[in-house]
Amino acid sequence: MLPWITLIIVIVFCVIKRSELISVLAKRKFAKGDLQGALQKFALAKKIGKLSAASLFFYGYLLLRDGQVDYAATILTHASLEAKKPALKKRIKSMLAVCEWKNGNLDNAIEMTEEAMVDYKTTNLYQNLGLMYVIKGDAKKAVEFNKEAYEYNSDDMIIMDNLAEAYAIAGDVENATEIYEKLLEKEPHFPEPYYGFGLLLVENGQKERGIKLIEQSLEKRFTFLSVLQKDEVEKLLEEARNK
């Protein structure tokens, strides 16, 4: 093939796939911790061309992390319409369920995630639904489901945290403590295990260590998808100190 023909083919490919090429740059930005930079790249990619369902899914996820719930739902709905593979459709539905949760529609979110899990099990779905059951406060269901999740993936730190919290709301301090201790050995990067275990310890007479753990949670990164925001944990810390 003549060099100039090869060059033309490469140029045409880049023009056709320019949106996807920019989305790759967006993902790299996010991998480096630059959420806003990634969102800017995705916005540009969407503006100049058509994104794949998988790229739209990732864009929607980043929008959700940034707290743009309604726009995230719009992008994810578009992704769902474009998606052809059943597995991707279920992943998108589970993320739309998180949008429902963050919009205050927890029951809808649970129902959507339960539907997504029919004949399709992943660690992420176990994470999401396990957390939703905990937030719902149905102790029995939360424990049963999160035990199942733990059997599915006992190494996942979010699943471990969900199970520990489920035991805690069920009043099973012994099992909650056992899971929390195992989890803290892994030095999780997210705040929930630290303030969750800290509160459990404070409530059960181990105030000094409990307060230290809650303080430690404030050193971790909070995101829009965190169960509690930093100011809420600071309030919990003050209440724990005054007990």
pLDDT, tens only, 117-143: 998 899 999 999 999 999 999 999 999
Helices (H) and strands (E) in the chain, counts: 14, 0
Angle of CA points 228, 233, 30, to nearest 5° = 50
CATH number at residue 56: 1.25.40
DSSP 227: S
Q: In this structure, is residue 75 part of a structural domain?
A: yes
Nearest-angstrom CA–CA distance, 204 and 214: 15
In degrees, to the nearest 5, what angle opens at C-alpha 54 toward C-alphas 227 and 109? 35
Give domain status of residue 83, yes or no: yes
User: Model pTM?
Assistant: 0.87
Task: Give the confidence band of 232 by pLDDT, cuts at 50, 70, 90.
Answer: very high
Per-residue CA distances from 151 to 13, 114, 145, 216 (Å): 46, 18, 10, 29
pLDDT per position as a tens digit, 44-81: 988 888 889 999 999 999 999 999 999 999 999 999 99
User: Does residue 237 lie within any of the structural domains?
Assistant: no
Asked if the structure places residue 107 within a domain, the reply is: yes
In a domain, 5, yes or no: no
Domain limits for position 113 = 52-120
Q: Return d(Cα 75, Cα 62) in angstroms, integer.
A: 11
Within-domain flag for 215: no
For residue 27, being part of any structural domain is answered with no
193 has pLDDT over 90: yes
Work out the percent of the chain whose per-residue pLDDT is above 90: 79
In a domain, 31, yes or no: no
Say which range, 21-25, 109-113, 160-164, has the weakest mean pLDDT.
21-25
Long-range interactions of 133-136: CB distance < 8 A, separation 24+ = 133/166, 134/162, 134/165, 134/166, 134/169, 135/101, 135/106, 135/227, 136/106, 136/107, 136/110
As for how many domains the chain has, the answer is 1
